[in-house]
Amino acid sequence: MQHPPPVSHPLHPLATRARVLLSSVFGPYSQDDEYGSRKINPMELYQNQVTRLQGGFSLRMFHRSFGLMMIQANIDAPCTLLDFPTLERFRDEIRQQSYNVIGISGIIANVGKVAKMCELIRQYQPGATIVVGGHVANKEGLDQLIDADLIVRGEGIRWFQRYLGQDDQAPIKHPMALSGFGSRIMGVDLGDSPDRTAAILIPSVGCPLGCNFCSTSALFGGKGQFINFYETGDELFSVMCEIERTLKVRSFFVLDENFLLHRKRALRLLELMEASGKSWALSVFSSARVLKSYTMDQLLGLGIGFVWMGLEGEESAYDKLKGVDTLGLVQNLQANGIRVLGSSILGLEDHRPEEMGATIEYAVRHDTVFHQFMLYTPNPGTPLYEKHKMEGNLLPESQFPFADAHGQYRFNYRHPYIESGEEEIYLLDAFRRDFEANGPSLLRLIRVLLNGWQVQKLHSRRVRDRLAWEAAPLRSTYAGAVWAMKKYYHLNPRLQERAGRLLADIYAAFGWKTRLVAPLVGRYAYSRLKKEEERLAAGTTCEPTIFCEKNAAALALEIVPAAGRKADARQLTPMPEPAWH
Ligand code: B12
Ligand code: SF4
């Protein structure tokens, strides 16, 4: 569903001759600073909110600012994209280059950084128009907090096209990019090999289910609304073929809030994949009820190998969960090789201290490969925020800085039953319990991959191919990782037994070669893990690489590149992603 363009829309006088800079907010991220960086909130998904307490077993990985990449790919004006600059790098860019438009992308926790960047732009590029977009735009009163010319709420590609006088109905060009980079686990860098890397695929933004706390649904129109970049299965298939050809990938991380909800598009994609024999692997986000509406054959046929699914809480009132036995659903998916990332919310309105133990145990019982725990957080723009505002129980900025409202520390409102400060204890307890009960996510992931391998013979050749491809590292690297885990848990009989059983099953499936290789790889992995633990104990943190990418029009304008910046300026390079996606 396309949103109709607003009646009057700002237009830049230089149209596509305007020089554009797009930037994410500046780092370093994993430190406590005055601009809103927080040590517990690095620029890492898994470490932040999924494998947070898994120490050396935590998956470390970065993701690009895809919204900015999509905007850059669809504008004709000369455009430079700075991703993850430091404050100094950003300052250098605007001191040394001249821009007519500077676009900044941020989320609400980044308000302080966006404000600082606007201040610097006014100082060094007073003639530039400052445009701010992304989730931060939903912050009420933002125009009073930052010195921007235009604040854009919602979809930015079409907005920019209109602003630059381009055709805003043209087909959307998809950036050719991998979904993650700088991945590392157990102290081992997972490498940049394109054949084991998922490309990013963004078919739509928004979600029509409109759960009351959901920022992404709210930003793109809320309940009943969404924006498709690719309307049909045919369009999507053609983009996927192009990405496959360009990046030489066979897997896709589908960044669409509820990909399977667009049933017609998904089933047409399945038809096309079948007809052309594509055995791609897809990682998707899906709500439980939608997932349930597909047969296992359809899911496997679509190549679904990883699902990010909201479990919320046992008694949660969300429609997306109604009538779904999530414990059974997860078990069935994982028995068929589909890795599940379950997401649970702590601090729902009816959560009481005396029930938190049971709530956490219920979540842990799912034994999903990954488990995200987040605090129930009313974010500006959402119906939940409006409700709390009306009830007058939101905490003011003086008591609770925006930068801390990232869902991993404190509530930004007064909870009816949970005292301020207790919520972090529950959150950490949930991560700890999940880790203690189910072991490292990597161990669970390997088990589920083996499950997939074991059921592969039941399926068509196309599905078998994919399951075998996903399971291939079980023969060597993953077998070695399990060997190392078995050794690591010598003082924890339960987890040692779990690793031992898995190793025995891997040996039974793959035979003597794997038996020979596993201890060799395992000794190496074990020593890396121990070193990683030392690094972490010494306080080492991870920061993403700085990217500076110019589109063709910007490159054409470059006569002599400024000497000092040549090293980090490059063109849309693919990023690595973990070997096991
Ligand atoms: C990838 C991602 C990340 C990556 C970071 C990527 C990056 N380089 O910034 C990682 C994993 C590191 C991450 C971390 C966090 N994230 Co995050 N993340 C996402 C995620 C899943 C996808 C974003 C995306 O690429 N979407 C696809 C693109 C196409 O959409 P988009 O970014 O919204 O961009 C569109 C528009 O917003 C607009 N737009 C965007 N930028 C600009 C700029 C201009 C100038 C204009 C005009 C328009 C514009 O145009 C784009 C195209 O339509 C979203 C959820 C989601 N599905 O969107 C959460 C989300 C953005 N993250 C969120 C949060 C809270 C966090 C964390 C605080 C969570 C935590 N506790 O760890 C941290 C913060 C890290 C930090 N130190 O800043 C929230 C933001 C909530 C809010 N209201 O502010 C979201 C919405 C998730 C959620 N539902 O709660 N995140
Ligand atoms: S189903 Fe998920 S993506 Fe959709 S509105 Fe609810 S929380 Fe958001």
pLDDT tens for 297-329 read 999 999 999 999 998 655 555 565 566 799 999
Whether 227 contacts 220, CB under 8 Å: yes
210 lines ligand 2 (CB under 6 A): yes
**Measured in angstroms, how far is the CA atom of residue 296 from the centroid of ligand 1?**
31
Q: What's the rounded mean pLDDT across residues 207-218?
A: 92
- Cβ(311)–Cβ(366) below 8 Å: yes
Q: What is the mean pLDDT of residues 120-133?
A: 98
Residue 575, domain member (yes or no): no
CA–CA distance, 433 with 373 (Å, rounded to integer): 11
Task: Decide if 87 is inside a domain.
Answer: yes
Based on the fold, state whether residues 103 and 128 are members of the same structural domain: yes
User: In which element (H, E) is residue 310 found?
Assistant: strand 304-312
pTM of the model: 0.94
Same domain, 123 and 239: no
Residues listed for the chain: 581
Domain count of the fold of the chain: 3
| 27 in Cβ contact with 543 (< 8 Å) | yes
Is the confidence at residue 245, as pLDDT, over 60? yes
Confidence band (pLDDT; 50, 70, 90) for 67? Answer: very high
Q: 341 vs 190, which has greater pLDDT? A: 341
* Residue 284 phi, psi dihedral angles, 5° rounding: -135, 160
Distance CA 336, CA 305 (A): 9
- Which ligand lies nearest to the CA atom of residue 288 in the structure? 2
Cα–Cα distance list, 436 to 48, 138, 366 (Å): 18, 38, 14
Instruction: Say if 554 falls within a structural domain.
Output: no
- Residue 313 is predicted with a pLDDT of 58
One domain for residues 293 and 408:
yes
Backbone angles phi, psi at 295, to 5 degrees: -80, 160
Domain that includes residue 375, residue range: 198-439
Residue 94 and residue 229 share a domain: no
- How far is residue 48 from each of residues 30, 59, 126, 347, measured CA to CA in Å? 10, 10, 37, 18
CATH number at residue 297: 3.80.30.20
Residues 391 and 457 in one domain: no
Helix (H) or strand (E) holding 62: strand 60-62
Residue 178 and residue 512: Cα distance in Å, rounded?
35
In whole angstroms, give the CA distance from residue 389 to residue 386: 5
Q: How far apart are CA 205 and CA 71, in angstroms?
A: 13
Assess whether pLDDT exceeds 70 at residue 508. Answer: yes
Query: What are 401's two structure tokens?
Result: 């800085």
Q: Each residue of 510-550: pLDDT tens digit?
A: 999 999 999 999 999 999 999 999 999 999 999 999 999 99
Q: What is the mean pLDDT of residues 272-288?
A: 96
Average per-residue pLDDT in the chain? Answer: 92
**Pair (103, 235) in one structural domain:** no
Residue tagged 């709530």 (tokens): 359
> Do 130 and 239 fall into the same domain?
no
Same domain, 71 and 128: yes
The residue behind tokens 């949103």 is 3
| 215 Cα: distance to centroid of ligand 1 (angstroms) | 10
Given this model, what pLDDT does residue 458 score? 87
Say whether both 126 and 227 belong to one domain.
no
The DSSP output letter for 6 is: P
Residue 209 beta carbon below 6 angstroms from any ligand 2 atom: yes
Residues 6+ apart with CB under 8 A from 198: 178, 179, 180, 249, 251, 252, 253, 281, 283, 577, 581
Residue from 557, 556, 553 nearest 75 by CA: 553
Mean pLDDT for the stretch of residues 214-233: 96
6 within some domain = no
**Per-residue pLDDT at 565 exceeds 90:** no
Helix, strand, coil shares, percent, the chain, to 5: 45, 15, 40
Residue 217 CB–ligand 2 contact under 6 Å: yes
The rounded Å distance from CA 393 to ligand 1 centre is 26
Residue 341: which of 326, 351, 352, 353 has the closest Cα?
326
Given this model, what pLDDT does residue 456 score? 87
Question: Of 499, 521, 537, which closes a domain?
Answer: 537
Q: Are residues 284 and 311 in the same domain?
A: yes
Q: In CATH, what number is assigned to the domain containing residue 108? A: 3.40.50.280
Nearest CA to ligand 1 atom 49: 133
- Among 74-83, 138-147, 348-357, 361-370, the minimum mean pLDDT is found in 348-357
Query: pLDDT tens across 394-452, in order?
Result: 999 899 999 998 999 999 999 999 998 999 999 999 999 999 999 999 999 999 999 99
Burial class (CB in 10 A: 0-12, 13-18, 19+), 553: middle
